[in-house]
Amino acid sequence: TTLPPLAMSYVVTPVIAYMCRRRKVTQEAINDLYTLPEWDLSLRLAQTLNVICCVMMYSAGLPILYPVGFLYCVVAYWLDRWCLLRGSRRPPAYTKDVQVMSMRLLPMAALLHMVVAGLVFGHQ
């Protein structure tokens, strides 16, 4: 889930810029061609919450998901940081509403964890 922004920043955009550089005649067109892609906070937050909720929900039956989720969070943090700082445009100023809403969703993941744990351990 972290690779598409990196692929856009470091593979697709340079290839398109190389292939189209001779066709652009105005400075504005060339600037648009070489401008880095936008950073999509809502997409990255949704993907990370999806992984965290899946790990929380199924980890009662599959305890190996805890290290997998931890590894995902560490790798996603460093790759997102790298992509945000070096491979995308300067993001707009965000309010804290998006983060507050995502933090309110995490107790639901704990509730799902308890429900699935009850189902998994109730049938033994």
Q: What is the pLDDT along the chain (124 residues), one digit of tens a residue?
A: 556 767 777 777 778 778 877 777 788 877 777 777 788 888 888 889 999 999 999 999 899 999 999 999 999 999 888 888 887 888 888 888 988 998 998 999 999 999 999 998 887 6
- Which pLDDT belongs to residue 73? 93
pTM here is 0.76
Rounded CA gap, 45 and 43, in Å? 5
- Which pLDDT belongs to residue 15? 81
- How would you class 44 by CB atoms within 10 Å of its CB: exposed for 0-12, middle for 13-18, buried for 19 or more? middle
Phi-psi region of 27 (alpha: psi -120 to 50; beta: other; left: phi over 0): alpha
- Which pLDDT belongs to residue 65? 94
- Which pLDDT belongs to residue 124? 66
For the chain, the structural domain boundaries read: 3-122
| Torsion (CA) 74, 76, 78, 83 in degrees, nearest 10 | 180
- Which pLDDT belongs to residue 115? 92
- Which pLDDT belongs to residue 3? 64
Rounded CA gap, 80 and 4, in Å? 11
